[in-house]
């Protein structure tokens, strides 16, 4: 079966093809859990610190993609817009074997609240590449431009009523993305409401963080320890996307901008629910 799907939230198009060569997703060698042999960069971090919140350290990225100095007002050159890369690029990390996503996401939310005080900063995003045994560190970006926001609440409620792609539904809703860019793309959203990330309250952040921990553990087994990108997306409501990195972009994606792979989200949901039954 070949199907082009448009994401009802982002408008992105993906191509699903269950004869594609990666079906089922090609396993990547598992990485050993535990403390790495090389000294861990975050454990030995000696740079300036912006804030400490319990075990959590907030620090500027040593090679920041954006800098806080400058004037972000746009100018026009040859009919095109340019502006200085004013913004923030920070690291948020805890201890090597931390206590899960909860304290990390709470610290990221506190930093977004602080950074909103700078009128030049408009769009916020964060991501981290997660792998078993690796030190968890979020990279937080504040941009001088608005980032595209979406309104997934209506779609979330329709998915909750439908149920086929739902993995878990409690204080947070965990589900397979309708139009997954990669095999096993999972979204975790607050189960209720439309709130932006740092305005949704500590209980909601804790509920989403706990659901992300569970989804990560389950996905990590399914993709055999391949790295999983966690992406914090500001929307109404916000969400955390989990994107396993099994392979680079294909020729189809390079040529057309449309990702292609072989794992339908319905099949992924059935697989993950079955795996959970077996391990119980």
Region from 96-104, 142-150, 173-181, 220-228 binding Zn ion, contact rule CB under 5 A: 96-104
> Is residue 96 within the footprint of Zn ion (CB under 5 A)?
yes
Shortest separation between residue 160's beta carbon and Zn ion, angstroms: 37
Nearer to Zn ion, 134 or 195 (CB): 134
Shortest separation between residue 210's beta carbon and Zn ion, angstroms: 22
> Is residue 135 within the footprint of Zn ion (CB under 5 A)?
yes
Contact residues for 268 (Cβ-Cβ < 8 A; gap 6+) = 176, 180, 183, 184
Binding residue count for Zn ion, defined by CB under 5 A? 5
Shortest separation between residue 43's beta carbon and Zn ion, angstroms: 3
Cβ atoms of residues 260 and 65 within 8 Å: no
> Is residue 43 within the footprint of Zn ion (CB under 5 A)?
yes
The 3-state DSSP composition of the chain as helix, strand, coil percent (nearest 5) reads: 25, 25, 50
Region from 15-23, 78-86, 132-140, 210-218 binding Zn ion, contact rule CB under 5 A: 132-140
Region from 39-47, 115-123, 166-174, 195-203 binding Zn ion, contact rule CB under 5 A: 39-47
Nearer to Zn ion, 43 or 217 (CB): 43
Nearer to Zn ion, 42 or 271 (CB): 42
**The token pair that represents 128 in the structure block:** 């981290």
Among all residues, whose Cβ is closest to Zn ion? 40
Shortest separation between residue 28's beta carbon and Zn ion, angstroms: 22
> Is residue 49 within the footprint of Zn ion (CB under 5 A)?
no
Neighbours of 103 (CB within 10 A): 20
Shortest separation between residue 247's beta carbon and Zn ion, angstroms: 27
DSSP state of 86: B
**The token pair that represents 84 in the structure block:** 């200085």
State how far the Cα of 82 lies from the Cα of 74, in Å rounded to an integer. Answer: 6
Region from 16-24, 38-46, 183-191, 201-209 binding Zn ion, contact rule CB under 5 A: 38-46
> Is residue 231 within the footprint of Zn ion (CB under 5 A)?
no
Region from 34-42, 138-146, 172-180, 243-251 binding Zn ion, contact rule CB under 5 A: 34-42
State how far the Cα of 158 lies from the Cα of 161, in Å rounded to an integer. Answer: 5
Nearer to Zn ion, 94 or 152 (CB): 94
State how far the Cα of 243 lies from the Cα of 214, in Å rounded to an integer. Answer: 14
> Is residue 95 within the footprint of Zn ion (CB under 5 A)?
no
Using alpha carbons, select from 249, 270, 271 the residue that is nearest to residue 22: 249
Where are any strands of DSSP class E within 87-220?
88-93, 123-130, 137-143, 166-169, 172-176, 186-190
> Is residue 40 within the footprint of Zn ion (CB under 5 A)?
yes
Burial 41-53 (b: 16+ CB within 10 A, else e): ebeebeeeeeeee
Using alpha carbons, select from 70, 199, 48, 189 the residue that is nearest to residue 124: 199
The footprint of Zn ion (CB under 5 A) covers 40, 42-43, 96, 135
């Amino acid at each position: 079966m070949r199907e082009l799907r448009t994401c009802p939230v982002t408008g992105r198009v993906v191509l699903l093809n269950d004869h594609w060569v990666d079906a089922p997703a090609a396993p990547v060698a598992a990485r050993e859990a535990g403390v790495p042999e090389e000294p861990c960069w975050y454990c030995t971090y000696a740079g300036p610190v912006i804030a400490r919140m319990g075990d959590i350290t907030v620090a500027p990225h040593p090679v920041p993609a954006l800098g806080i100095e400058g004037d972000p007002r746009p100018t026009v050159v040859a009919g095109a817009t340019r502006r200085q890369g004013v913004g923030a690029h920070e690291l948020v990390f805890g201890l090597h074997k931390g206590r899960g996503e909860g304290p990390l996401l709470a610290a990221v939310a506190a930093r977004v609240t602080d950074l909103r005080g700078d009128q030049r900063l408009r769009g916020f995003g964060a991501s981290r590449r997660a792998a078993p045994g690796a030190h968890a560190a979020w990279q937080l970006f504040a941009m001088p431009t608005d980032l595209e926001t979406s309104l997934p609440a209506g779609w979330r409620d329709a998915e909750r009523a439908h149920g086929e792609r739902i993995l878990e539904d409690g204080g947070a809703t965990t589900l397979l993305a309708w139009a997954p860019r990669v095999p096993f793309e999972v979204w975790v959203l607050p189960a209720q409401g439309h709130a932006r990330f740092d305005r949704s309250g500590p209980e909601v952040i804790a509920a989403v963080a706990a659901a992300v921990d569970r989804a990560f553990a389950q996905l990590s087994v399914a993709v055999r320890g391949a790295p999983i990108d966690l992406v914090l997306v500001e929307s109404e409501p916000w969400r955390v996307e989990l994107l396993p990195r099994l392979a680079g972009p294909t020729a189809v994606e390079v040529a057309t901008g449309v990702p292609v792979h072989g794992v339908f989200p319905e099949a992924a949901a059935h697989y993950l629910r079955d795996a959970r039954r077996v391990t119980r």
